[in-house]
Amino acid sequence: MPGNHRKALSDLMLMKLESLYQFEYDADTDEVITVLSSCKKRTRHKASEPFVLMVKKLGKKVIFSKDAIEIWKSFRTNNLLSDYSLFAVNNAMTKLMLMYQEPSRQNVSDMLKSKFDGIKRI
């Protein structure tokens, strides 16, 4: 996706999305399971491919890249980083790309741990 089409989620939008959806990882089948909290609907997505989540309640479309899924999977094994959702990891990667920084595993973890995200709000 070209950089001029990327948009970072606001903190309020991120909280709303995290309250609507939960993510699980099934290591046996290498799939990300999306659980809709309001109706307990479970959708499986291949972890090796990017997928799109259409949020009709908020009128948003969130695209999860293959790199974001890989970083989120690696955070699942770390006790300090296991609390972060796939939305948070994807949003941190988007913010890093908007600031023309490399969205590596270390940079994403630093972005998630810090309170300042580097974007000045007016």
- The tens digit of pLDDT for each residue in 40-80 reads 789 999 999 999 999 887 788 899 999 999 999 999 888 77
pLDDT at 4: 62
pLDDT greater at residue 7 or residue 73: 73
- The tens digit of pLDDT for each residue in 18-44 reads 999 999 999 999 999 999 888 878 999
DSSP the chain: --GGG--PPPHHHHHHHHHHEEEEEETTTTEEEEEETTTTEEEEEETTS-EEEEETTTTEEEEE-HHHHHHHHHHHT-TTTTT--HHHHHHHHHHHHHTT----HHHHHHHHH-S--S----
Which of 78-87, 98-107, 112-121 shows the lowest mean pLDDT across its residues? 112-121
